[in-house]
């Protein structure tokens, strides 16, 4: 992402009370945003979705058309957008191990995320994490198998990009990230920390609940450093 697009994304997210740090990361230069972040924005923007239209229904594939509508600021009218979500196992939707495949749910999420991005003016600037599997933070398959079985991670977890000499427990990783967030002395420092590949790898390693807590901790730190906590969107 260029500095200009970073600022444009940050300004739009700020309108809905969401910081760039902890919500957006990069995959080979492409800006990616979490699905949960888009859900929160959709709720605040009062986006209403129409009934989905199923365009293709197969055992391993689903294609769904979704339409959304948002009230414009100062009640000057409404804006409507539509988009298509696709999920095809083995092509743009990978399922591994004992993971169940939900092609219709994935297609719906992708379509809704695209509609949200269009309505709030972020389409083309970034993508949803569910746009394609390669946008999701990944981990080593062996480590994922151990995690699914409730076993501790191997000490040489290369996918998490951590120093094997350090404590690799989730509690230790969480504590280190919290300490780094607390030590960041500026809004840019927090943003750079949360966008860093090693931070994204650590977040991917942690359980979803801990990830959400750390993102909230980063947001709290941003507010303490002067980042506006409340939406300043007109008509909100």
pLDDT for the residue 166: 47
Does residue 197 share a domain with residue 165?
A: yes
pLDDT for the residue 150: 46
In a domain, 197, yes or no: yes
Q: Which residue has the tokens 């009230």?
A: 71
pLDDT for the residue 94: 83
* The domain boundary residue, chosen from 90, 120, 150: 120
Does residue 102 share a domain with residue 51?
A: yes
Domain that holds residue 184: 139-236
Q: What percent of the chain lies above the pLDDT cut of 90?
A: 39
Question: What are the strands of the beta sheet with 24-27, ordered from one edge?
Answer: 24-27, 30-33, 127-128
pLDDT tens for residues 110-132? Answer: 999 999 999 999 998 999 988 86
pLDDT tens for residues 150-200? Answer: 454 444 443 344 444 345 677 788 888 999 999 999 998 998 898 888 888
CA–CA gap between residue 87 and residue 58 (Å, rounded) = 10
Does residue 233 share a domain with residue 147?
A: yes
Say if residues 79 and 119 touch (Cβ distance below 8 Å).
yes
In a domain, 31, yes or no: no
pLDDT, average across residues 1-11? 80
CB contact set of 12 (below 8 Å; sequence gap of 6+): 120, 121, 122
pLDDT for the residue 131: 82
pLDDT at 204 over 60: yes
Per-residue pLDDT band for 236 (boundaries 50, 70, 90) equals very low
pLDDT tens for residues 30-61? Answer: 888 999 999 999 999 999 999 999 999 998 99
Does residue 114 share a domain with residue 44?
A: yes
pLDDT for the residue 199: 86
Per-residue pLDDT band for 2 (boundaries 50, 70, 90) equals low
- Total structural domains in the chain? 2
Q: Which residue has the tokens 């365009």?
A: 55
pLDDT at 149 over 60: no
pLDDT tens for residues 217-235? Answer: 999 999 999 888 654 444 4
* The domain boundary residue, chosen from 87, 120, 153: 120
In a domain, 27, yes or no: no
Does residue 173 share a domain with residue 114?
A: no
Q: Which residue has the tokens 């100062």?
A: 74
pLDDT for the residue 232: 47
pLDDT, average across residues 59-73? 93
pLDDT for the residue 167: 54
The dihedrals phi and psi of 41, each to the nearest 5 degrees, come to: -65, -40
Does residue 145 share a domain with residue 115?
A: no
Does residue 149 share a domain with residue 226?
A: yes
User: How many CB atoms sit inside 10 A of residue 4's CB?
Assistant: 8
Does residue 144 share a domain with residue 209?
A: yes
In a domain, 33, yes or no: no
CA–CA gap between residue 128 and residue 113 (Å, rounded) = 6
């Amino acid at each position: 992402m260029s500095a200009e697009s970073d600022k444009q994304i940050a300004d739009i997210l700020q309108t809905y009370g969401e910081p760039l740090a902890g919500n957006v990361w990069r995959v080979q230069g492409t800006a990616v945003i979490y699905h949960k972040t888009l859900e929160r924005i959709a709720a605040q923007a009062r986006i209403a979705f129409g009934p989905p239209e199923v365009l293709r229904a197969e055992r391993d594939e689903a294609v769904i058309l979704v339409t959304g509508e948002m009230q414009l600021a100062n009640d000057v009218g409404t804006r409507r957008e539509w988009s298509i979500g696709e999920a095809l196992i083995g092509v743009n939707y990978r399922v591994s191990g004992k993971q169940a495949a939900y092609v219709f749910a994935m297609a719906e999420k992708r379509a809704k995320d695209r509609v949200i991005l269009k309505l709030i003016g972020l389409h083309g600037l970034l993508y949803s994490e569910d746009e394609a599997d390669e946008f999701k933070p990944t981990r080593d398959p062996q480590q994922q198998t151990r995690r699914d079985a409730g076993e501790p991670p191997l000490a040489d977890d290369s996918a998490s990009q951590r120093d094997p000499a350090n404590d690799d427990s989730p509690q230790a990783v969480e504590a280190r990230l919290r300490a780094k967030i607390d030590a960041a002395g500026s809004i840019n420092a927090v943003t750079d920390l949360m966008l860093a590949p090693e931070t994204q790898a650590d977040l991917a390693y942690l359980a979803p609940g801990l990830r959400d807590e750390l993102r909230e901790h980063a947001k709290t730190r941003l507010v303490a450093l002067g980042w506006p906590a409340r939406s300043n969107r007109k008509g909100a």
